[in-house]
Chain A
Amino acid sequence: LAKTTQPISMDSYEGQEVNITCSHNNIATNDYITWYQQFPSQGPRFIIQGYKTKVTNEVASLFIPADRKSSTLSLPRVSLSDTAVYYCLVGADSNYQLIWGAGTKLIIKP
């Protein structure tokens, strides 16, 4: 199961675009990249998942370069309510056993 490395914390301001990069140098051919969001005192919530290139949904975009050794979660025009911890997970089989790091604590300021 690939390990990931993310910044421990990030600050930004309302209305800005926020990019959180995750390194996963040992990603395997079959591995997918998944991001979750967790608010204080709540369970994690799925944001987005991708394998290569770019994936976009109503919440975020996920950019994955050709070598797949990193990925970037992009949150457009953040608001105060986007303050949360964001987790990058990498894996394929036994997805429930993915290793959760400490995530990136994103703080959005007014």
Chain B
Amino acid sequence: NAGVMQNPRHLVRRRGQEARLRCSPMKGHSHVYWYRQLPEEGLKFMVYLQKENIIDESGMPKERFSAEFPKEGPSILRIQQVVRGDSAAYFCASSAGEINTGELFFGEGSRLTVL
């Protein structure tokens, strides 16, 4: 499967724990984007990364959230000390280059439930 791969698909955490979501972009893609989606709502942009660089993190909360895209391995979205409000679906998308027009390729998402 050459698509965007996300894992885990489902993650359950208790309040105060850490959540780590992983995203492997499509083969040949070096640009990764993370989005968050609440039920019955559209996606909300969180962060845009290239290999080893954060390009735009304007949509990501300053506290408890971080993202990285190392030279080797998947991109990781990390949420520390999770709260119930963090429960959502988190989608990763990738593109081959800077995306002005054209399509984003999305993964299946990781659904975080905070108890």
By a beta-carbon cutoff of 8 Å, the part of chain A in contact with chain B is: 32, 34, 41-46, 49, 87, 92-103
Residue of B nearest to A95 (CB): B99
What residues of A have a CB within 8 angstroms of the CB of B48 in the complex? 96
Query: C-beta contact mask, B71-115 vs A, less than 8 Å → 1, else 0?
Result: 000000000000000000001010100011111111111010000
Q: What's the nearest-Cβ distance from chain B to residue A2, in Å?
A: 14
Query: C-beta contact mask, B28-68 vs A, less than 8 Å → 1, else 0?
Result: 00000101000011111100100000001011000000000
A-B contact sample (10 more), CB < 8 A, given A43-B93, A100-B43: A34-B101, A43-B108, A43-B109, A46-B104, A49-B103, A95-B101, A95-B102, A97-B58, A99-B42, A102-B41
Given the interface pairs A100-B42, A102-B40, A102-B42, the reply to whether A43 lies near B101 with Cβ below 8 Å is no
> DSSP class of A's interface residues: helix, strand, loop or mixed?
loop
What residues of B have a CB within 8 angstroms of the CB of A43 in the complex? 4, 91, 93, 106-109
By a beta-carbon cutoff of 8 Å, the part of chain B in contact with chain A is: 4, 33, 35, 40-45, 48, 56, 58-59, 91, 93, 95, 99-109, 111
Residue of A nearest to B103 (CB): A46
Residue of B nearest to A89 (CB): B42
Q: What's the nearest-Cβ distance from chain A to residue B67, in Å?
A: 14
A44 touches B106 (CB 8 A): yes
Residue of A nearest to B43 (CB): A100
